[in-house]
Structure 1
Amino acid sequence: MKICFVTHVVKKGDGQGRVNYEVIIEALKQGHEIIVISTELSEELRNHSQIKWIKIMNVLKIPTALLQYQLFALFSAIWIWTHQKKMDLIVVNGFITYARSDINCIHFVHSAWVKSEYHPYRDQKNVKSLYQLLYNSLNSFLERIALKRTKQIIAVSEQVKQELVQDAKIQSNRISVISNGVDLNEFYPRSVNRADFHLDTNTTYALFAGDLKSKRKNLDTVLRAMAMVENVNLIVLGNTEKSNYPGIAKDLGIGHRVHFLGHRKDIAEIMSLADLFVFPSKYEPFSLVILEAMASGLPVITSSRCGAVELLSDHSAVVIEDPEDTATLINVIRELLSNKEGLKMMALRAREDAQKNSWGNMSYKYLQIINYTSKVKYQ
């Protein structure tokens, strides 16, 4: 079978891009021929004998994401329309092309985000947030059209599935749920010398990782909680450029206890520096970093607004209902730190829960749907 994947990125180190990468790897193992229409393709796949790469120009050089993605959608559609007979199945991510698809894999529902109480425009009305509202609203409209024109939809979590039903008005029976996976050989409990990172051996460390320019990730609530829990330090991963969080930590009087390590490529190693992972995001369709923390053997504190909570057990994580409930977050951190043996047991259970969700398991499930959709299409 000849499968066409339409997506911006296919590579490791990118959430949606990693899913695309793993699904294509499994498709190659099963002997399928692959057409990739994208801007980026992992180097090791570019010269593969079973892959034909249709490179769309680097639209990132064009001003505004709105115009970038519209051009990508147009150019990819033109190629598909002129080569329709050369492919058996078309797999896409959300609204990414004006061409019809057979399978649409959804990682983020713009229709739900536009309505969310945490959308930037509801927090602060300015030119930037207005642009984001317009961008998300247009994508919401185009997303619904794309989803109605596809045969099968795959949601990355039950949360995303419910958003598709409630906000994008898609019939539930058209949606399958396949959770993201994790590289168990990359993320695993390991011994790391904290001194190499200028950290203290005998100190307890919590870890936060995310976009430090986004209020949605909720680092401000974590910092306020940290200010009230004295016997723990915080490691923060993320680009601090144009971020106000280092200043907030200083104003709270905990600048010396919060270690901003910047954007790192060695996140798997950094994970093992910590004793627990704190990520009470306000809105997260899935959040791969939670699964990576679990695989690294970290007990998790997160919020019910994260799709990945569906994979967590009571033995490996604590889920806070309200992500902005600082008092509850403080109590949870204190309770976990007061029981060192319990924290160790949670770490073991976190790894066990993660082992059920390898990239291999995920990509095999995708190929089951791809193969079935192709079979039905040509019956």
Structure 2
Amino acid sequence: MSRLAIVRQKYNPAGGAERIVSAILGQLKLQDELEPVLINRNWEQLDGVTVCRVNPFYLGSIWRDWSFARAARRAWQRMRADLVLSHERIPGCNVYRADDGVHAAWLDTRKKKYGFKARVAVFLNPFHLYMRQVERRMYSHPDFRGVICISEMVRRDVIDFIGLPSEKCHVIYNGIDTQRFNPRDARRNRERMRAELNIAADVPVMVFVGSGFNRKGLYQAIELIAQFPDVRLIVVGSDKKINWYRKVAIKFGVDARVYFVGSKSNVIDYYGMSDAFILPSVYEPFGLVIAEAMACGLPVFVSNRCGGAELVQENKTGWIASVTDHEQWVVNVKRWLDIKDHWYDLSIEVRESVLKFTEEKMVMEMIALFHELNKS
């Protein structure tokens, strides 16, 4: 049996990447071809999976990532791993799963949107320089065999910004737990959830899920809601600048219609109480929450810089627009409101469109790739 080292530094139960790692480990336990070993700082103990904790001291983000990379590399060398799958940018890994996309592409998108201010911020922040250097070193390392791109968008970014040959870029979409995320279970507490927030049954509700509000476009979502007096917005997630976003809601006169509920473990209940999902991200390599919302039957409004937009059938299961094209977002929401009488049928169509993206399919494609790369 070949030993597969899986590297992920941090654990956040609400994080999309962490849920994907858990799904991968869960599926790998069911087969007898690869022995997974998880290398991390603080992951929860998992039955049937060997966990190797490395938690070196650090001060600041650069030292944090550098020290973990150094310790993780030593760990997989000691255990004589046959293949190393890293969810972190670590030179020396064999396969990188680009959960976070391409840092250079994110910086480029950010500069285009925010202009001179963003350029200055990037220049003054040494972490961005460190990340770009590590990214280049990882992709050019002699032990590097391939990258798992979680969307076609990420694949294009790797080719365009890194210059990696296309044959080393493998697109494997995130899998969804379609048994957990389904309309019936999601809507089970719909009436109670709405009652708790004093929202009437017939009021249109959109839900925003994610932490890191700036990158995920919460400002744009709040600005959009201001155009539609009958629509409510539920914000599920956290951010250190949350009070600033509360002031944004006041600025647009929608503070009574925007509900900041914080990070929640029962996110499915918030999908269930809502009628649509919105994520106007500046840069989102995939956005697992997009797929989960669709599995619960919610049509989605997403930006064209979301990898998860590739799951959307335009004007059928959702709507896509540039994050800077405010007028198009307004048009899209109007189209959704105009077909309110058909939302039930739309919900069925939305769910059916993502049922093929299962966790089992994702892991089987990854295992097939691991065997292919091991042979090479």
| Aligned equivalent of 2:323 | 323
How far apart, CA to CA, are the structure 2 residues paired with 1:11 and 1:215?
A: 19
Residue type of the partner of 2:87?
N
For 1:44, what is the secondary structure of its paired residue?
coil
For 2:129, what is the secondary structure of its paired residue?
helix
Q: 8 Å contact 1:316–1:349 — kept in the other structure?
A: yes
| Aligned equivalent of 1:53 | 51
Residue type of the partner of 1:351?
R
How far apart, CA to CA, are the structure 2 residues paired with 1:346 and 1:356?
A: 18
Flag the 1:124–1:353 CA change in 2: closer, same or farther, 3 A: same
For 1:29, what is the secondary structure of its paired residue?
coil
| Aligned equivalent of 1:116 | 109
Residue type of the partner of 1:101?
C
Unaligned runs of 5+ in 2: none
Q: Map Cα deviations across residues 191-241 of structure 1 (whole Å, 9 max, x no partner).
A: 322213433222111111222x54222222222221121221111112265
| Aligned equivalent of 2:41 | 39
Q: 8 Å contact 1:91–1:103 — kept in the other structure?
A: yes
Residue type of the partner of 2:102?
V
Flag the 1:328–1:313 CA change in 2: closer, same or farther, 3 A: same
| Aligned equivalent of 1:273 | 273
For 2:93, what is the secondary structure of its paired residue?
coil
Residue type of the partner of 1:41?
W
Q: 8 Å contact 1:10–1:20 — kept in the other structure?
A: no
Q: By how many angstroms is 1:53 displaced?
A: 2.0
Q: TM-score, normalised by structure 1?
A: 0.88
Q: By how many angstroms is 1:37 displaced?
A: 1.3
Tell me if 1:135 matches 2:133: no
Q: Map Cα deviations across residues 309-339 of structure 1 (whole Å, 9 max, x no partner).
A: 111113201111x212222212211221121
Q: By how many angstroms is 1:165 displaced?
A: 0.3
Q: 8 Å contact 1:111–1:137 — kept in the other structure?
A: no
**Which stretch of structure 1 is more off in the superposition, 72-81 or 362-371?**
72-81
Flag the 1:40–1:282 CA change in 2: closer, same or farther, 3 A: same
| Aligned equivalent of 2:255 | 255
How far apart, CA to CA, are the structure 2 residues paired with 1:12 and 1:355?
A: 23
Q: Map Cα deviations across residues 279-300 of structure 1 (whole Å, 9 max, x no partner).
A: 1212111111111110111011
For 2:164, what is the secondary structure of its paired residue?
coil
**Which stretch of structure 1 is more off in the superposition, 189-198 or 282-291?**
189-198
| Aligned equivalent of 2:229 | 230
How far apart, CA to CA, are the structure 2 residues paired with 1:8 and 1:120?
A: 30
Q: Alignment identity in percent? A: 23
How far apart, CA to CA, are the structure 2 residues paired with 1:349 and 1:64?
A: 47
- Give the count of matched residue pairs: 363
Q: 8 Å contact 2:110–2:118 — kept in the other structure?
A: no
Residue type of the partner of 2:66?
Q
How far apart, CA to CA, are the structure 1 residues paired with 2:14 and 2:218?
A: 22
For 2:302, what is the secondary structure of its paired residue?
strand
Tell me if 1:182 matches 2:176: yes
- Summarize the alignment of residues 211-360 of structure 1 with structure 2, pairs less than 5 Å apart: 211=211, 213-239=212-238, 241-243=240-242, 244-314=244-314, 315-320=316-321, 322-360=322-360
Residue type of the partner of 1:42?
E
Residue type of the partner of 1:79?
A
| Aligned equivalent of 1:104 | 96
Q: 8 Å contact 2:56–2:71 — kept in the other structure?
A: no
How far apart, CA to CA, are the structure 1 residues paired with 2:105 and 2:42?
A: 28
How far apart, CA to CA, are the structure 2 residues paired with 1:15 and 1:118?
A: 25
Q: 8 Å contact 1:26–1:367 — kept in the other structure?
A: no
Flag the 1:309–1:41 CA change in 2: closer, same or farther, 3 A: same
Q: By how many angstroms is 1:40 displaced?
A: 2.8
Flag the 1:357–1:239 CA change in 2: closer, same or farther, 3 A: same
Q: TM-score, normalised by structure 2?
A: 0.89
**Which stretch of structure 1 is more off in the superposition, 340-349 or 303-312?**
340-349
How far apart, CA to CA, are the structure 1 residues paired with 2:146 and 2:78?
A: 23
Q: 8 Å contact 1:113–1:119 — kept in the other structure?
A: no
For 2:319, what is the secondary structure of its paired residue?
strand
Q: Map Cα deviations across residues 231-266 of structure 1 (whole Å, 9 max, x no partner).
A: 211111122653211111112111111111122111
Tell me if 1:68 matches 2:68: no
Tell me if 1:89 matches 2:83: yes
How far apart, CA to CA, are the structure 2 residues paired with 1:58 and 1:76?
A: 10
| Aligned equivalent of 1:156 | 150
**Which stretch of structure 1 is more off in the superposition, 191-200 or 224-233?**
191-200
Q: By how many angstroms is 1:308 displaced?
A: 0.7
Q: By how many angstroms is 1:56 displaced?
A: 0.7
Q: 8 Å contact 2:249–2:258 — kept in the other structure?
A: yes
Q: 8 Å contact 2:56–2:67 — kept in the other structure?
A: no
For 1:185, what is the secondary structure of its paired residue?
coil
Q: 8 Å contact 1:204–1:233 — kept in the other structure?
A: yes
Flag the 1:186–1:293 CA change in 2: closer, same or farther, 3 A: same
RMSD: 2.3
For 2:230, what is the secondary structure of its paired residue?
coil
For 1:208, what is the secondary structure of its paired residue?
strand
Residue type of the partner of 1:25?
G
